[in-house]
Chain A
Amino acid sequence: MNGTFKTRVSNHETDRDSRKADYRIMQSFEICLFEVSKLFRISRSGFRISQAVSFVLFLLAFNPSPADAHLVNTGFGTFYDGVVHLFITPSDILVAIGLGLLAGLCGAAASRGVIVALPAAWLAGEMVGSIYPTAITLPWVTTLSFGIVGVLVALNATLPRTVMLILTCTAGLLHGFVNGSTMAAAGTNRLGMLGAALAVFIVITLITALVVSLRAQWSRIVVRVAGSWIAAVGLLMLGWLVKGQG
């Protein structure tokens, strides 16, 4: 009897602790969302942008961990290996989808620049990355980049075209650089990198056009929900990275 009571108390305490932990996670997620939204709401001042850029540069310099140099072998040659590489790299495909959703929400005018800028920046980043074939992955930064994009989509952030382009180019250069470095370390030539950039172009063009063509109000909510999932995946992956370091 006594034992049963102790077990019940213990279960109750565990539940309470678990609820507290859940609440803390929710609270920090809300604070994070609020801070990001605040940052971009006053982004026109320029001061916040420079802060954000400094933050990204700091992260870029932070902990460039080596990766297992690998590239999918499709048996279809280097070009298609590069195409498939995008789809099997979660951070790459999620940032491309996220930027597509965000650009679509910002309208056709903003999207036109984005569908050209992202693959171009990606390819440029790959070329630079291929100079350093040491398989630099920068997991924190790449995860954070698509997480931020996901949050912006979830917030339905209407960014000015210039900010949208800066964000796109930064993400493209960053992910392209990581791609190029990893691919070069795996012995992939420029054709594979071209394949990856082309896949990015196709993905972002199709997604952006799809979102721009949506007219119903509820469909924009669906897009924002998709953005929140991307943000959630980012948060989850950041959690894994923290756990992995601890």
Chain B
Amino acid sequence: MTLKVFSATPVTLFICILAGAVFAHESQPGSLDIRQMAGSRYEVIWKAPIYYGRPHPARLELPGHWQTVVGPTERVLSDSYVYRRVITIGEKGVHGSIVRFPGLEGTITDVFVRLNRLDGTTMTAVVRPTKPYAELRGERSWHTTAGEYTGLGFHHIMLGVDHLLFVLGLLLIVKGRIMLLKTITSFTVAHSITLAIATLGYASAPLPPLNAAIALSILFLGPEIVRSWRGETSLTIRFPWVVAFMFGLLHGFGFASGLSTTGMPRAELPLALLFFNVGVELGQIGFVAVMLLLGRSFRVLEMRWPLWVERAPGYAVGICGAYWTIQRTMMLIK
């Protein structure tokens, strides 16, 4: 299995990647923190991420028996709008209440919901656009939480076109099955390390420079792909797993941005981290599997694509990497 595996990747894939590029990294999650202050008094903080440069179309709809006593106040951050209010909850209590997010169903945003009570008990849930509401209940089975975080990780990688494009770039460079296995494994290990470090709070990377660095990692692969077409060699072509590991560390911090753990109960952290990573891996393996199967199919059918079609995926990696690098660097300078 050499470069030929992907040399015939068709124009459709190229269009798909370019189209997907439109929504790269626009899926920052939102969050709703409900904190008990005293008795029936709660503080509600709704953080709605900026959505494609505009205020998020989803709004918060609290249950009818929750009465607002202070607020809501609005604070505009660089990446989100934060709405704070204090409420009192009637005799019905918080248990079984349903919090809704009308408008979320038309988006690609997930929302973390967390309830912290004074007695130390907590409840967390992930609200998805397919089910834009959360029922506040005390006890939830571990597999419900695991399923939510697996879905969240899968969601993050499938919408993170930049991560997928980096993996595609690696696939275009790699020669041989063993090397492919080594490269994908080292990328996985590397991003798992930094994802864990960032999630557990040992280190963090500010998002704007991180996104620029991730874009740079994709741009870096562009010339390497051209070198491999020309039959030249380089460190990346000889040892792609080293590059996959080094840049994988960066991408791990990027994945962590999709897993907001602020206020999450300590006991739930390892579970969330593990299953979020499982979701990311499932998405990545699925993408690699589809690419390999397509490559095999083209070989079986003896497809002969025009040269520009053959090279489109490689150019897509380079062009998108360059575009994002310039765009994100400009955002940093501003």
Contacts and interface: CB of A to CB of B under 8 A. Distances in A.
Nearest to A114: B301
A73 B129 contact: yes
A206 B300 contact: no
Contact of A80 (B106, B158, B290): B158
Nearest to B303: A112
Contact of B158 (A76, A115, A201, A209): A76
Interface of A: 73-77, 79-80, 108, 111-112, 115-116, 119, 191, 194-195, 197-198, 201-202, 205-206, 208-210, 212-213
Contact of B130 (A75, A108, A115, A194): A75
Given A74-B130, A75-B108, A202-B290, A108 B16 contact: no
A212 B158 CA distance: 31
Given A73-B130, A77-B108, A208-B297, A112 B302 contact: yes
Among B158, B294, B301, the one with the most A-chain Cβ atoms within 10 Å of its Cβ is B301
Interface stretch (B17-25, B227-235, B274-282, B317-325): B17-25
Nearest to A111: B301
Given A76-B155, A76-B158, A201-B10, A212 B300 contact: yes
B12 interface: yes
A73 B6 CA distance: 32
**Interface SS majority for chain A:** helix
B330 to A, nearest CB: 25
A121 to B, nearest CB: 13
15 contacts: A73-B105, A73-B130, A75-B105, A75-B108, A76-B158, A76-B159, A79-B20, A108-B301, A112-B302, A119-B12, A194-B19, A205-B298, A209-B298, A210-B297, A212-B300
A74 B27 CA distance: 14
Q: Which of A75, A76, A197, A212 has the largest number of chain B CB atoms within 10 A?
A: A75
B301 A115 contact: yes
A77 B51 CA distance: 13
A194 B18 CA distance: 11
